[in-house]
């Protein structure tokens, strides 16, 4: 097509346009490279240029922009700072009961809607500040944002769906704050990489896969995703995607696999899968965007704005398109009340463990891909990079979101040639621009986000190939870790189960090794005693001869 156009217009014209564009790029790149910005980010030293860094930053942002709505949706499932007090009472002279948080209630749903908008802004700010800090301070092309896995653990395990757990959202944020401070401390004194090696390797690998299964399971459920999986009184879970669902229990009332929202979500998943298969940048965004655009039309069976008071309110906010939303409920909502409980300490240890493993491992992987790693396993800017992502977690907790991490999607920018911190700064600027489109981001429905959660699970499963399945000492703990996370709806249970089984299996080897060592030592003692006895029993005259 391009050749035909050039043929009609004249090959000379096309060549002049291409040469003019090339000269303009070269002039821009030379000007930036010689400027303060170019020298600060070492563009020439790292054999990069401005246009290459711009292309890399754009690619990274497109592949990770899904986190803006996905993270806010997951965290808002915890109920955030909403409580029974926000529920609309059933009658004028009555008070709302705790079950109003789990049934359709206009007041509570309105509070959740506002909380989600707050969390979207908090997510964007965390990603923006973290990415820019990584670029400016560490000069690395690594983008940061609230981590998948840690957000699910906070929402569904620590706080529980709509606050059904034993820890409030405010206390959970205090846990994230303390964990971030501890993470910063071990990063500052250089213990971070050493601690990651204390966890058994099969459990480390299985944790990533187990978290992926957990996230995918969330994306398949009725409340948080496409609605393929729902509760069943006999089998606990079953296939649903029903045309009619019990609003209180979530059980199917009839018409399995007949939900139009489920099928439109399947189309979105196919778009994402096909794009990933063809290595199209931003394929996850395209899947979310397709489903979302269709769901924005009113009067359809898949609309995100039904003809209800809440739907009308959400639609009116959506029509603003551009709006700067101020965080009202989650910023600074940190409370150390009831902090000294067993649930809090388990949560603190688990978040710390996940941070040490996943974030440190991801950063080293990105360094390998980008060619920054040295022969000793370190990389340039490593110390400051550790401090930046740990400090970003502290900052994120004050805004109301969970742990911030270096994203594997940074590899998209590395493949485009990003080699300096300018890539990360550009990603941060893209997040800044998105701050002004909160009405659009807050109107993304769960059935658009569910497919992306399943795809995140797919990507996190690839580590299982590195587990030694032939060795049962490795295979059994790894399998238990992965199995317990989705089935017990707890990331912590999977980690504890895997480590516990690994230690138990190791005790056998330790016991056998100890017995063999004792037997060996006993033989040595006996041999030495025999030698001493033989020496004592020898006749001195014979010795002289």
Task: Supply the pLDDT for residue 9.
Answer: 52
The Cα 165–Cα 479 span in angstroms is: 26
Give the model confidence (pLDDT) of 207-241 as tens digits.
Answer: 878 878 888 888 898 766 888 988 877 888 888 88
Q: Number of C-alpha atoms within 13 angstroms, CB side, residue 222?
A: 23
Task: Supply the pLDDT for residue 138.
Answer: 93
The Cα 416–Cα 389 span in angstroms is: 23
Residue 543 has pLDDT above 60, yes or no: no
Inter-residue contact 143 to 60 (CB < 8 Å): yes
The Cα 131–Cα 126 span in angstroms is: 8
Task: Supply the pLDDT for residue 308.
Answer: 85
Task: Supply the pLDDT for residue 5.
Answer: 47
Give the model confidence (pLDDT) of 313-354 as tens digits.
Answer: 889 889 988 888 899 999 999 999 888 888 899 899 888 877
Task: State pTM to two decimals.
Answer: 0.77
Average pLDDT, rounded, for the chain:
85
Task: Supply the pLDDT for residue 544.
Answer: 45
Mean pLDDT confidence for 172-190: 92
Helix intervals (H) in 134-168: 150-152
More confident residue, 372 or 39: 39
Domains of the chain by residue range: 45-87+97-520
The Cα 81–Cα 333 span in angstroms is: 8
Give the model confidence (pLDDT) of 165-179 as tens digits.
Answer: 889 999 999 999 999
Q: Quick one: what percent of the chain has pLDDT higher than 90?
A: 36
């Amino acid at each position: 097509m391009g050749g035909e156009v050039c043929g009609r217009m004249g090959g000379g014209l096309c060549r002049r346009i291409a040469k003019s564009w090339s000269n303009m790029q070269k002039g821009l790149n030379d000007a930036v490279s010689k400027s303060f910005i170019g020298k600060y980010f070492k563009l020439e030293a790292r054999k990069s240029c401005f246009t290459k860094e711009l292309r890399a930053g754009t690619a990274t942002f497109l592949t990770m922009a899904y986190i803006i709505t996905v993270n806010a949706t997951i965290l808002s499932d915890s109920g955030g700072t909403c409580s029974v007090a926000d529920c609309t009472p059933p009658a004028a002279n009555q008070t709302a009961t705790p079950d109003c948080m789990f049934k359709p209630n206009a007041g509570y749903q309105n509070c959740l809607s506002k909380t989600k908008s707050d969390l979207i802004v908090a997510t964007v700010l965390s990603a923006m500040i973290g990415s820019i800090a990584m670029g400016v301070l560490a000069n690395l092309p690594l983008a940061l944002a609230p981590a998948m896995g840690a957000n699910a653990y906070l929402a569904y395990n620590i706080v529980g769906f709509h606050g059904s757990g034993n820890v409030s959202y405010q206390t959970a944020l205090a846990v994230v704050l303390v964990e971030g401070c501890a993470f910063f401390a071990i990063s500052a004194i250089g213990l971070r990489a050493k601690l990651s090696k204390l966890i058994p390797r099969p459990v480390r690998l299985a944790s990533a896969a187990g978290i992926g299964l957990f996230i995918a399971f969330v994306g398949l459920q009725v409340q948080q995703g496409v609605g393929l999986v729902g509760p069943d009184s006999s089998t606990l879970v079953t296939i649903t995607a029903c045309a009619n669902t019990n609003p209180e229990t979530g059980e199917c009332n009839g018409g399995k696999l007949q939900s139009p929202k489920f099928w439109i979500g399947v189309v979105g998943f196919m778009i994402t899968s096909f794009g990933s298969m063809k290595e199209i940048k931003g394929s996850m965004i395209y899947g979310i965007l397709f489903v979302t655009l269709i769901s924005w039309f009113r009067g359809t069976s898949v609309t995100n704005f039904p003809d209800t008071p809440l739907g009308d309110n959400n639609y009116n906010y959506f029509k603003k398109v551009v709006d700067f939303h101020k965080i009202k409920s989650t910023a600074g909502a940190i409370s150390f009340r009831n902090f000294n409980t067993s649930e809090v300490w388990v949560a603190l240890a688990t978040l710390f463990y996940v941070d040490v493993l996943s974030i440190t491992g991801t950063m080293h992987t990105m360094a390998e891909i980008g060619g920054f790693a040295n022969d000793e396993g370190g990389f340039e800017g490593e110390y400051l990079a550790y401090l930046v992502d740990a400090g970003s977690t502290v900052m994120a907790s004050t805004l109301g979101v969970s742990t911030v991490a270096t994203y594997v999607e940074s590899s998209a920018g590395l493949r485009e040639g990003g080699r300096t911190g300018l890539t990360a700064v550009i990603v941060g600027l893209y997040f800044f621009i998105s701050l002004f489109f909160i009405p659009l981001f807050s109107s993304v429905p769960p059935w658009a986000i569910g497919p992306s959660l399943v795809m995140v699970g797919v990507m996190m499963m690839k580590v299982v190939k590195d587990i030694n399945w032939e060795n049962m000492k490795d295979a059994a703990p790894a399998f238990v870790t992965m199995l317990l996370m989705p089935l017990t709806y707890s990331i912590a249970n999977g980690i504890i189960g895997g480590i516990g089984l690994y230690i138990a299996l190791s005790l056998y080897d330790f016991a056998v090794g100890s017995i063999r060592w004792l037997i060996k030592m006993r033989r040595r003692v006996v041999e030495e005693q025999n030698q001493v006895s033989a020496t004592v029993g020898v006749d001195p005259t014979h010795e002289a001869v």
